[in-house]
Chain A
Amino acid sequence: MGSLKRVEPGPQAPANLPRATRSSGASPAPRGAPIIEVRDLVKVYGGGNGRRKQEEVRAVDGVSFTVHEGEFFGFLGPNGAGKSTIIKVIATLLGGTSGAVRVAGMDVATQGPAIRRIIGYTGQSVGVDGELTGRENLTLIGHLYHMPTDLIESRVEELLGVLELREAADRQANTYSGGMRRRLDLGAGLVHHPRILFLDEPTTGLDPHTRNGVWDYLRKLHRDERMTIFLTTQYLEEADRLCDRLAIIDRGKLVAEGSPAALKAGIGADVVTIRLPRDEGFEANRARALQVVQKVRGVRKATAFDEGVSVHAEDGGAALLEVMRLLDAERVPVQQVAVARPTLDEVFLQHTGRAMRVEEVKPMSSAGFGQRRR
């Protein structure tokens, strides 16, 4: 596991290093004041002593970052990267092992109740009560936030409308479809108009149509209510489309941070993918191809992957011609080539040395709480 902490500053957000001293707040990019500050957060599960001793798992390993007020911030990483753990620590649901976490200037370790008033949290498992109706679910949350009854009524009505649940409002939530339950759960995080909304994989398990609907609503919330939104996701597309700024997290460590555009720009320019035939000569051919492509002018980096070689080049089109010419001369068989603008896929690959694999999580209803979920 590499301990490198590579951070992509990107053109618009200079010196956005985790441990950089915050200079006078005069830097151009951030929208507002820092609202979430995480410094050297570590979370170790297990351990203990005596007969309860379990294997220690370092789920979060020295993570630092800052989110500014009004930002749409995302955590991108595969299952088990530590995303949920970090978001739970910030949302006061879980204690950290060491490090400092402040929300709106308040310490999560000592000022939990005050923090809870200004945040909304929607967890990975859809935490709606199936035996209550949609309206009752939302009303209950309003009362748990000590809101006056008339305000709860109008707010619940408003949310049922925007979440398109009005017709189903008086049906028990266990008759809802997965998408409706998701929307209701999202609504539960919004009843009290939080300043910061935490969303832990808000669209995992949703069909593309519903996912688009949730995205639209989140964009609207962010735009119209100027809400700070912090989401975790394992979907590259989701991170790319929604977030102002991203942190890529892998095995408990932050490996890169910046706007999606800046992260992609940091790759180089274009990505040339060369796929080789998977025959007995594949390994040897790939090794030769890797040598060959490095001679091409304009190539910044070449990486072998399980289907061939991936090349980062300033001008993909020009590099492609040269690459093909050289491979031909070297008699390396090629099955397919492609040139593309870099995606977050390549960003992830570059920073972790692995392709991002999306695993569908276990069914939402059985996702455990307080278990070793990283």
Chain B
Amino acid sequence: MTYNRKRQIAAAVLVLVTAALVANEVRLLVTDPEYDWYLRIQRWIAAVCTMAIYTFLYRENPFYRAFEHVLLGGATGMGCAVIVRQQLIDKWFAPMVQGFRDWFTTGMTPEALSGVLLIVPGIVGLMWYFQYSKRWFWLSRITFCITLGAGVGLGFKDTFNQLLPQITETFKPLWVGARIEPGLSLLARVSLSFENIIFITGTISVLMYFFFVFERKHFVIKGPAQLGRWYLMVALGAFFGNTFMTRLSALIERVHFLVAEWLQWG
């Protein structure tokens, strides 16, 4: 098929699809007594955006690229607006101004002081910008040190609190006897013990896999490390399966939107 012929077919398909969409919209306008223009325009915009992004599945095209940039621009603008509005103004500037106002009207009350003191983090934060000056660069290091110190402290607490219970959780009995779980039947105990053995074997073998300080020549190291690799492969397979399911859900939701909400079929 020649290039011109292909273009003619594509144009014909486009015209037909557009006609069908217009006919569908007229159908809704005529049959729906609660036809809402505002809502319909919103849905049309959402549908065009969705389909523009899905055109990438056919091939890279300017239509897709344009909408990708619209999305990125919108998200960046929204991010900036949110930071300025919700954080800088609401959490810092407005309480600070209020603090100064209270100080001048009612005197230095504890509430006024807490507002006035907000000027300190403001100044410390602004010191980041000394990074652009060779002469005053050292001042930015003060802010850097405060941020780093606070971040490390909080991070340490978070990591410690998250991981410690998991480490203690790995101390599982290989045989769940009657003393450990008195109410369980023998079959349940065997099953629980089997689970624990798989769990502990997995933990140890995967840890062995990540010992890179000595060569894996001896079977005591090599065997568990290889088993650990298998465990990791199974885990990665589970990750992939879950990833597929998440992406699939997004597709199903979009198809539902296009069919049920935009076209209002079915």
Asked if chains A and B come from one complex, the reply is no
Residues of B within 8 A of A (CB): none
Give A residues with C-beta under 8 Å from B: none
